[in-house]
């Protein structure tokens, strides 16, 4: 069967360029960059070039890039670094918001257990947090503000530049989880004004297991993995050279394609939103304006997201109900709850995240299939029966 892949927020297919860039470092140049012989030094050179390329791609200096195993590790390292830097000055307060990725939320939970005070700010109905909320929450003991650049479930793009400015003015460190944004929208660390930024290769057509943390010059990240002196002593372990080289190639390619891909993605995204909104008692999640180009998330009343996914999969459509971490669990998405969807509505969610490989024909097939499947599921649902007979009130009008 010809599969239609619309789960690019979970992970992306590797690009040809990313695969080709990787192969020499699996075959001939398999050295350890710490070795003094030629094979090792070829690896060291490749590592240097990849670091330079990734730094350039986000407007950073080569000394400001620390390679990690992905977005989760970069987030952990950022938060723990800021917490330790803060604690040394007696600052033990951290500000974030409710729709962050679990790599942030669970690390904050751990820090809370270690005596840090964590404030998770509420978001508005579109999943946004304002610079004013941040300014109000910052106190004399605030060590860090961490706000994601764009949400992985509902695609909302946060006003991080304005938030970074507030943090700078108040002398508080600012980190952003930009995993969904890097390679998808134009970004520059100096333009944002952040102190730290996380990125992950497999979200922009690179390999899984490679990521990076940008740390502004003058700040010293904490070391989570002890051992050798790799990453300037801040992250031990023989480097994933093939993955890192491939990540650099994928990022360069993705950034080069942004201007060409964006209008196409927005056209397909908006057609999907329009088509799916024709389904009665449906609602778009997230902002219609400040939204990632390829991201769609809708709720349909009276259905279970899991059943919808399985029936769409049977038609060859690979979609999601939210983040890969929450699907499979029975809890509704913390993001949909945070934007005010009641439990029963949050359960009926569908996330479709596009890439440049999708076509307008696929979009039409997805709209038609989703309409059919939602109708089929509703016809079998006793809850839907009650809603139709007026025994229950619709939550989504
Ligand atoms: C995918 C994702 C992560 C985790 O990245 P991994 O490389 O899978 O560890 C963190 N934050 C956001 C917003 C993500 O979408």
Structure tokens that stand for 127 in this block:
């999943």
Q: Evaluate: CB of 70 within 6 angstroms of ligand 1.
A: yes
Instruction: Output the CA 100–ligand 1 centroid distance in Å.
Output: 10
Residues 223 and 80: beta-carbon distance below 8 Å: no
Per-residue pLDDT at 285 exceeds 70: yes
Question: Domain tally for the chain?
Answer: 2
Q: Are 150 and 170 within one domain?
A: yes
Query: What atom of ligand 1 comes closest to residue 323's alpha carbon?
Result: 15
**C-alpha 180 – ligand 1 centre gap (Å):** 7
Check residue 323 and give its pLDDT. 54
Domain boundary residue, one of 254, 285, 319: 254
Asked whether residue 328 carries a pLDDT value surpassing 70, the answer given is no
Pick the residue whose CA is nearest to atom 12 on ligand 1: 179
162 class by beta-carbon count within 10 Å (0-12 exposed, 13-18 middle, 19+ buried): middle
Q: Kindly state if the Cβ of 148 falls inside 6 Å of ligand 1.
A: yes
Which tens digit of pLDDT belongs to each residue from 57-107? 999 999 999 999 999 999 999 999 999 999 999 999 999 999 999 999 999
Mean pLDDT value across residues 143-172: 98
Query: Which of 254, 284, 319 is where one domain is finished?
Result: 254
pLDDT at residue 329, rounded to an integer: 57
Share of residues in the chain with pLDDT > 70 (%): 98
Report, as an integer, the average pLDDT of 229-251: 97
CATH number, domain of 143, equals: 3.40.640.10
Ligand 1: distance of its center to the CA of 246 in Å? 18
Q: 173: Cβ below 6 Å to ligand 1?
A: no
117-124, long-range: CB < 8 A, 24+ apart: 117/92, 117/93, 117/141, 118/93, 118/94, 119/93, 119/94, 119/95, 120/96, 121/95, 121/96, 121/97, 122/97, 122/98, 122/338, 123/97, 123/98, 123/99, 123/338, 123/339, 124/339
- The question of whether 325 is a catalytic residue gets the answer yes
Which of 254, 280, 308 finishes a domain? Answer: 254
Do 264 and 219 have their domain in common?
no
Same domain, 245 and 267: no
Please check whether residues 240 and 329 belong to one and the same domain.
no
With DSSP H G I counted as helix, E B as strand and the rest as coil, what are the percentages for the chain, rounded to 5? Answer: 45, 15, 40
pLDDT at residue number 331:
80
* pLDDT tens string 286-299: 999 999 999 999 99
CATH code: domain of residue 289: 3.90.1150.10
Is pLDDT of 327 > 60? Answer: no
Clarify whether residues 193 and 180 are in a common domain.
Answer: yes
């Amino acid at each position: 069967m010809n599969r239609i892949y619309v789960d690019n927020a979970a992970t992306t297919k590797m690009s040809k360029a990313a695969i080709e860039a990787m192969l020499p470092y699996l075959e001939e140049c398999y050295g350890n960059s710490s070795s003094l012989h030629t094979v090792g030094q070829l690896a060291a050179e490749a590592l240097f070039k990849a670091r330079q390329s990734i730094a350039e791609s986000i407007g950073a200096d080569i000394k400001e890039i620390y390679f990690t195993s992905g977005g989760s590790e970069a987030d952990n390292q950022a938060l723990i670094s800021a917490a330790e830097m803060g604690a040394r000055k007696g600052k033990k307060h951290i500000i974030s918001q409710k729709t962050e990725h679990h790599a942030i939320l669970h690390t904050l939970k751990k820090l809370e257990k270690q005596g840090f005070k964590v404030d998770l700010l509420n978001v508005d109905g579109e999943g946004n947090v304002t610079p004013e909320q941040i300014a109000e929450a910052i106190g004399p003991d605030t060590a860090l503000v961490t706000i994601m650049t764009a949400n992985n479930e509902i695609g909302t793009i946060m006003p991080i530049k304005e938030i970074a400015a507030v943090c700078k003015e108040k002398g508080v460190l600012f980190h952003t989880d930009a995993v969904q944004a890097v390679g998808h929208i134009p970004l520059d660390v100096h333009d944002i004004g952040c102190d730290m930024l996380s990125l992950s290769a497999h979200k922009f057509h690179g390999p899984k297991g490679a990521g990076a943390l940008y740390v502004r010059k003058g700040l010293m990240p904490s070391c989570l993995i002890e051992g050798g002196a790799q990453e300037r002593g801040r992250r031990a372990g023989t480097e994933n050279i093939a993955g890192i080289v491939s990540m650099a190639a994928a990022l360069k390619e993705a950034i080069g394609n942004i201007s060409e891909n964006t209008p196409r993605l927005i056209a397909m995204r908006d057609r999907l939103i329009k088509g799916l909104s024709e389904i009665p008692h449906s609602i778009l999640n997230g902002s219609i304006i400040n939204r990632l180009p390829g991201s769609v998330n809708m709720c349909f009343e009276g259905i279970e997201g899991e059943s919808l996914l399985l029936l769409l999969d049977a038609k060859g459509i690979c979609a999601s109900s939210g983040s890969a971490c929450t699907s499979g669990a029975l809890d509704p998405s913390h993001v949909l709850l945070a934007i005010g969807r009641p439990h029963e509505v949050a359960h009926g969610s569908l996330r479709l995240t596009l890439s440049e490989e999708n076509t307008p024909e696929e979009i039409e097939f997805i709209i038609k299939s989703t309409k059919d499947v939602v109708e089929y599921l509703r016809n079998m649902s006793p809850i839907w029966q009650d809603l139709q007979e007026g025994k229950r009130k619709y939550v989504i009008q």
